[in-house]
A and B are shown apart, each in its own frame.
Chain A
Amino acid sequence: MTLTPTPSTRNAPSPSGSGVVIDIRQASVRFGSFTAVDRVSLTVGPGEVFGLLGPNGSGKTTLIRALCGLISFAEGEAFVFGRDVRTDAERIRGRIGYMSQKFSLYQDLTARENMDFYAGIYGLPPALAQQRKHELIQLTGLEPYLDRQAGKLSGGWKQRLAMVCALIHSPRLVFLDEPTAGVDPVARRDLWDLLFRLAAEGITLFVTTHYMDEAERCARVGYIYLGEMLALGTPHELKQMEGVTPPGSRWLEISGIESASLFTQMKERPGVHEATLFGLSIHALVDAQASLRDLGLDDPRLTVIETEPTLEDVFVSLSKAQDRKLQLATSPQGGGA
């Protein structure tokens, strides 16, 4: 690989031996000639909240499915709880929870029946099942909705029910595949509160998401693009990556006056490389040499502060760099040169 070294190879905490919950080594998944996951390496430690980001079709769900043994890795190795995914999938599945992007509970069964079903499927002894249900109902506040059919619950409650079903067997690792897609902000916040409480209990969480604010809340983040893991590290580490802030440039946050017209003007200026509008403020990458006057930002009403790139900046620049590289590799001139 000729990728620029990512923080993962330099800074990633390398939890060793029994401390590692997920350990993926140079693993690939192929569907025919299409490589859905391309030589990904990754370790996740106990109690960690790991966020996997990437556009649709980039291989996030495929990676999760492969880790659960539902799809075979074409090459490389993967271990969950120290067990080989290829040979021990059934044992692993008994110890992990999974909550998918689609609400995949039985709509015609009541909340309680859904819980009972999963308790049974995971082989919980009845007394323990009873106790677990009680705890999780307390935790999620599902009590008033137990006898309602799952299909008739609102989005947020459906999601809590899905959560209960995924946690019924006290898994030490939970995969959440876009758990907050299509959920209202309050329910989203509630879910994340719940996730942090689980993490505090030492439960490892592997979350895929599209939301940058959710990514910011993860202890570590991986960015997967077209099957390749382009970046891996804490949100802070990712923002320090070279290429995100090219030499001789800096990130500014501008606020104070009506931003929309200023934003249009700014995009015309030669010293401005990128500008994004966030409500009343503008987030921009500019030449470090350029003065505020050069940038048209010398209006006294403006507040201009130097800032660091957002995760979105990181992912956008990584994706663009990767696209350029792939274009170069596939175009005949690039290949011949």
Chain B
Amino acid sequence: MSAADHAGDGFEAFRSSSQMLMRQSGWLGSAQRLYAVARKELFHVLRDPAMLFFTIFIPIVEMFLLGFAIDTNVRRIRTVVFDLARTQESRRLLDQFKNTDIFLLKEEVFSDEELKSAIVSGQARIGIKIPEDYSRQILSGNTAQVLILVDGSESSIAGTAVNVSNAVALRASLEHLLQDRPMPVDSRPQVLFNPDTRSANFFIPGLMVVVCQMMAVTLSATAIVREKENGTIEQLFMTPVRSGELIIGKLIPYMVVTTVEFIIVTILMRIVFQVPIHGFYLTLLAIFMPFLLTMLGIGLWISTQTNTRDAAQQIAIGTVIPSIFLSGYVFPLDSMPIFFWYVAQIVPTTWMIDASRGVILRGASWAELGSHSLVLWSMAIVILTLASARFQKHL
């Protein structure tokens, strides 16, 4: 069989072009390879509906759940009352409890047993027992004791209930002593940045960070693993593409997709949850970049360590857990034991959430957040360097 037999079907052209073949070299060739990898990777993301669903839709659902359903402010705790006194004074005390909006006086019980069983059964969290001699004791200048039974199984409720009932009792005592004279000291707390202490304002700036972290880590964790699983990595290794081009080319589309997600979540936060942005949003985006790179780097590192997509995703989820509990996203850093406080400082999410709340709630600017940016850039550089070193074009 000779080439001449096939002259008519494109084979001649085939010969001519193989002679004139020239490859682009230098930065132009590098840019071209980068573009080829990035474009292909974007196709993978867009063609995987399950992946898209989990990365874009689930975070939004999560946001609605947290934004609407969760209120960390303790309000309207179910309370039962056992009022033995049934006097004007006892009713006034109960009104004072009611007026705090912390206690929801649901029903009255008529025995100690009922009081106790209401709490054990979970019908009520608080039981207030006013003794029969309540009014008499007050009027005779003695101390009237009021029993507050608190269900300690939910610590935040218990804490609030104890504090507020103390305050109610104190206030009642003072009013009794002062009669018509004014209060000597009046505390006027002013809650800055979030005057209504709305939970959404506190949660959503942290949530956007955690959601985007989840997305970035899972996306990039599958980046290399997918090629390993499908056997395409071998073919890729046979080409002149360099490791750096492969890594950057793969990360670019993930950066774009995650940044878009971050912006979508911000818009939802602003419009649906009415959380005002006090600072300059671009400052936040600028700090978000090194954070995103850090997370992509972590994903990439996972990708080099594992051989299946399932394993990669499980580890990815595993890395997100410490950043939920140790970043101040849910639990305040200030009340952590000192050891964990230090651990929290090396969690990148801690810095990003603080920056996010800083810009959105406190109106912080570049001047206050420069150190956050510096820390996150350092983390990004360290992690990306480690991940790239682990990923070598060698079988």
Q: Could you give 23 example pairs across A and B, Cβ below 8 Å?
A: A70-B234, A70-B393, A71-B394, A90-B240, A91-B240, A108-B43, A108-B44, A109-B44, A117-B39, A117-B40, A120-B37, A123-B32, A124-B21, A128-B21, A128-B22, A134-B13, A135-B11, A138-B9, A139-B14, A169-B21, A170-B18, A197-B1, A200-B2
Judge whether B36 and A121 touch: CB under 8 Å: yes
Q: A108-B47, A197-B1, A201-B3 are in contact. Are A120 and B33 (CB under 8 A)?
A: yes
Residue of B nearest to A162 (CB): B235
Q: CB within 8 Å of A: which of B1-33? A: 1-3, 6, 9-11, 13-15, 17-18, 20-25, 29, 32-33
Judge whether A118 and B239 touch: CB under 8 Å: yes
Complex Cα spacing A104 to B235, Å: 7
Nearest CB on A from B222, distance (A): 13
Residue of A nearest to B233 (CB): A104
Chain B 89-105, CB-CB to A under 8 Å as 1, else 0, gives: 00000000000000000
Nearest CB on B from A205, distance (A): 14
Complex Cα spacing A134 to B235, Å: 22
Judge whether A170 and B36 touch: CB under 8 Å: no
Q: Is A116 an interface residue (CB 8 A)?
A: yes
Judge whether B39 and A197 touch: CB under 8 Å: no
Judge whether A94 and B1 touch: CB under 8 Å: no
Nearest CB on A from B6, distance (A): 6
Nearest CB on A from B198, distance (A): 43
Residue of A nearest to B2 (CB): A200
Nearest CB on A from B299, distance (A): 20
Complex Cα spacing A121 to B311, Å: 29
Q: CB within 8 Å of A: which of B27-82? A: 29, 32-33, 35-37, 39-40, 43-44, 47-48
Give chain A residues whose Cβ lies under 8 Å from the Cβ of B17.
128, 131-132, 135, 170
Judge whether A102 and B241 touch: CB under 8 Å: no
Chain B 383-395, CB-CB to A under 8 Å as 1, else 0, gives: 0000000000111
Judge whether B238 and A98 touch: CB under 8 Å: yes
Complex Cα spacing A63 to B115, Å: 83
Residue of B nearest to A131 (CB): B17
Q: Is A113 an interface residue (CB 8 A)?
A: yes
Chain A 254-283, CB-CB to B under 8 Å as 1, else 0, gives: 000000000000000000000000000000
Complex Cα spacing A90 to B242, Å: 8
Give chain A residues whose Cβ lies under 8 Å from the Cβ of B32.
120, 123
Give chain B residues whose Cβ lies under 8 Å from the Cβ of A165.
235
Listed residue (B11, B40, B238) with the most chain A CB atoms within 10 angstroms of its CB: B238
Give chain A residues whose Cβ lies under 8 Å from the Cβ of B37.
117, 120-121
Judge whether A104 and B395 touch: CB under 8 Å: no
Q: Is A93 an interface residue (CB 8 A)?
A: yes
Residue of B nearest to A124 (CB): B23
Judge whether A70 and B33 touch: CB under 8 Å: no
Report the 4 A-B pairs with minimum CB-CB distance, sorted nearest first.
A120-B36, A138-B10, A170-B18, A98-B238
Give chain B residues whose Cβ lies under 8 Å from the Cβ of A169.
21, 23
Judge whether B40 and A106 touch: CB under 8 Å: yes
Tell me whether chain B's interface is mostly helix, strand or loop, or mixed: helix
Give chain B residues whose Cβ lies under 8 Å from the Cβ of A28.
none
Judge whether B43 and A123 touch: CB under 8 Å: no
Chain B contact residues, CB within 8 Å of chain A = 1-3, 6, 9-11, 13-15, 17-18, 20-25, 29, 32-33, 35-37, 39-40, 43-44, 47-48, 230-232, 234-242, 393-395
Judge whether A197 and B6 touch: CB under 8 Å: yes
Listed residue (B21, B39, B48, B393) with the most chain A CB atoms within 10 angstroms of its CB: B21
Q: A121-B241, A122-B240 are in contact. Are A104 and B23 (CB under 8 A)?
A: no
Select which of B11, B21, B231, B395 is within 8 A of A71 by beta carbon.
B395
Q: Is A96 an interface residue (CB 8 A)?
A: yes
Give chain B residues whose Cβ lies under 8 Å from the Cβ of A118.
239
Nearest CB on A from B17, distance (A): 6
Select which of A70, A121, A123 is within 8 A of B395 by beta carbon.
A70
Q: Is A125 an interface residue (CB 8 A)?
A: yes
Give chain B residues whose Cβ lies under 8 Å from the Cβ of A136.
14
Q: A128-B17, A138-B9, A170-B17 are in contact. Are A200 and B23 (CB under 8 A)?
A: no
Q: Is A215 an interface residue (CB 8 A)?
A: no
Q: Is A105 an interface residue (CB 8 A)?
A: yes
Q: A125-B22, A128-B17 are in contact. Are A116 and B36 (CB under 8 A)?
A: yes
Judge whether B14 and A200 touch: CB under 8 Å: no
Judge whether B240 and A68 touch: CB under 8 Å: no
Complex Cα spacing A254 to B176, Å: 124
Q: A125-B22, A196-B1 are in contact. Are A104 and B232 (CB under 8 A)?
A: yes
Q: Is A65 an interface residue (CB 8 A)?
A: yes
Complex Cα spacing A152 to B25, Å: 35
Complex Cα spacing A131 to B19, Å: 13
Residue of A nearest to B245 (CB): A121
Judge whether A123 and B240 touch: CB under 8 Å: yes
Nearest CB on A from B332, distance (A): 44
